[in-house]
Structure 1
Amino acid sequence: MTLGVFLAVLGAAFLHALWNALIKVGTSKVGGMVILSIVEVPIGLAVVMLTPAIDPAAIPWVIAAGCTHFAYKFFLTYAYDRGDLSRVYPIARGAAPMIVALFGAAFLADAVTHQEYIGIAVVAAGILLMARGVFTSGEDRKLLPFALGSACATATYTLIDGLGARVSGSPAAYVAWVFVADGVFFTLGMLALRGWDVIPRNWQAWRMGSFASAASYGAYAVSIWAMTFAPIAVVAALRETSILFAVLIGWLVFGEKMGREKALASVIIVAGVMLTRL
């Protein structure tokens, strides 16, 4: 992985933590995610018009990605209803790199060194340590199945997106079409489950949701682009350093506690990132 790709993925990690924080801010997490999804559609269509067409062979990958992104958003929003950013986010993101790495080693042709796999394991260990507080701090354990469901969906769409972008011949256009499919699927799904009242009616919610959607696109597009130049498992692991940004946002903006355990987990994550770079 080159330095440029490395820094780009770190930027994507920050954007990912940022849009999650914006969703967490709202009184209705599902409503905020619906706004984000609605805005995704015009963003995606605008990018489609400015980029080369994708190979038709990538269409099934786009549809599969849209479905798995629906599952990811569904589980994540319900987890945020039950826990804070610095607990839900690590759990939701923590298991994904391990799943991706194991699958990649077994079924994909990506060349990942032993040191990079050690780095992936260290990053995952730090993220899991960050999430440990759900068991020791008396927090709502009902967030766990939703957060873990989100982790499984994250691992699935990471693999789908990495392969789909390679098949597409145009990663930017692929991301744009996935955004469209994702936005349409989630919006229609939530309308079917919750009715029209799920859509917030106030301007502040729309402003925050729109900004979150733009940040989401930036994080997603950079990550998919990076996967065309570096092994999927390594990009997926490095992207999980967004936990550092999420913890800082939770601490400085939301007033969440920063104990020794969180500080130690942050150091472990940074160490894992360095192993993937050296």
Structure 2
Amino acid sequence: MSPFIFALVLVAAFLHASWNVVVKISADRFHAMYLLQVLMGVMGLGMLMVFPFPLAAAWPYVIASGLLHTGYNVFLARSYKHGDLGLVYPVARGTAPLLTLIGTQIFAQDVISSIAKAGIITLIIGIWLIALSADVFKAHRATFIYALITSLFIGCYTVVDGLGGRVAGDASGYTGLLFVLDGAFMLVAGYFYGGMDIIAAVLPKWKAGLFGGIMSGLAYWIVIWAMASAPIAAVAALRETSILFALAFSARLLKEPMSWRRVAGVFCVVAGAVALHG
């Protein structure tokens, strides 16, 4: 992985943790996810005006990803309804890099060095150390289940988008179409969640939604672009360094507790990231 891609994915990691804080502090997490995704759909329309429309070979990928992202959004919102950021975020992100690594070994032709594989495993261990420090198994059972299901969606859509971005002809055009579909699918999900009243409910929060939508959109745009030219599993694992930023936010802004396991997990995450950079 080149230093430029490495640095950009770290920026994406920071942005990803930031928009999760926006969702966590919202009074209604589903409303926050709904507004964020709809505004990202508007962002996607703008991107399609600038970048080439993806080739037909990418359309099945982008449709599948749009459906997977909708499931991800619903279960992430439910996770934050029951659990702290310092619990939900590590569990939701913890299994995804391993699932992505397995998926890319099956469906892609990526060549990953032994050092990079070791870095991915070390990073996953660090994330789970952080998750265990939050007494994940003692928490509300629904929190753990929802966060784990969220992780499954993450692993699936990451593989799909990595492959889709490569066959689209232009990764940015693929991202724009994905954002449009994500927004459209979320509109449908929102209708089943709260009917037409959901629009009136979220409009007063449009500023927070716009802020979160821009951060979320930029974060995943960077990731899809990076996966088009670098090993998908390596990019996906490096993105999960966002847990470092999430921990800082949870401790500083949300006053959630720290522990020695979290500190040990941080060292593992940093070591894994260094291995991926090498």
Same fold (TM over 0.5): yes
1:259 Cα shift?
1.7
> What's the RMSD between the two structures over aligned residues?
1.5
- Aligned partner of 1:268 in structure 2 is 268
Partner AA of 1:74 in structure 2: V
**Is the partner of 1:255 in helix, strand or coil?**
coil
Pairing of 1:249-260 with structure 2 (within 5 A)? 249-260=249-260
Matches of 2:202 and 2:176, distance apart in 1: 27
Task: Give the secondary structure class of the aligned counterpart of 2:191.
Answer: helix
Give the deviation of 1:277 after TM superposition. Answer: 1.4
Distance in 2 (alpha carbons) for counterparts of 1:36 and 1:85: 18
Per the alignment, residue 181 of structure 2 pairs with 181
CA 56–120 in structure 1, closer or farther in 2 if over 3 Å, else same: same
The residue that corresponds to 2:222 in the other structure is 222
Q: What's the offset of the Cα at 1:137?
A: 8.2
Cα distance in 1 for residues equivalent to 2:260 and 2:133: 11
Partner residue, 1:241:
241
Please show how residues 7-46 of structure 1 align to structure 2 within 5 Å: 7-46=7-46
Structure 1 stretches of at least 4 aligned residues deviating more than 6 Å after TM superposition: none
Per-residue deviation, 1:101? 0.7
Matched letter for residue 218 of structure 2: G
Distance 1:255 1:240 in 2: 22
Q: TM-score, normalised by structure 2?
A: 0.96
Aligned mates of 1:10, 1:79 — CA distance in 2: 25
Once the two structures are TM-superposed, the CA of residue 202 in structure 1 deviates from its matched residue by 6.3
**Equivalent residue letter for 2:121:** A
Name whichever of 130-139 and 70-79 sits farther off. Answer: 130-139
User: Structure 1 stretches of 5 or more lacking a match?
Assistant: none
CA distance in 1, matches of 2:108, 2:175: 21
C-alpha contact (below 8 Å) 1:26/1:205 kept by paired residues? no
Q: 1:187 Cα shift?
A: 1.9
Q: Tell me the secondary structure at the aligned position of residue 256 of structure 1.
A: coil
Q: Structure 1 length normalisation: TM-score?
A: 0.96
Query: How far 1:204 moved relative to its partner?
Result: 5.5
Query: Hey, what does 2:115 align to over in structure 1?
Result: 115
Q: Which amino acid aligns with 2:109?
A: A
Residue 174 to residue 107, structure 1, CA distance change in 2 (3 Å): closer
| Bigger shift: residues 103-112 or 2-11 | 103-112
CA–CA distance in structure 2, aligned partners of residues 200 and 236 of structure 1: 36
Unaligned runs of 5+ in 2: none
Distance 1:145 1:202, change over 3 A: closer
Shift in Å, 1:42: 1.2
Q: Which amino acid aligns with 1:84?
A: D
Aligned to 2:232: 232
Q: CA–CA distance in 2 between the matches of 1:163 and 1:202? A: 34
Q: Tell me the amino acid that sits aligned with residue 186 of structure 1.
A: M
Q: C-alpha distance in 1, partners of 2:52/2:83? A: 42
Deviation per CA, 1:75-102, whole angstroms, max 9, x where unpaired? Answer: 1000000001111011001101001112
Shift of 1:134: 4.5
Task: Report the secondary structure of 2:88's partner residue.
Answer: helix
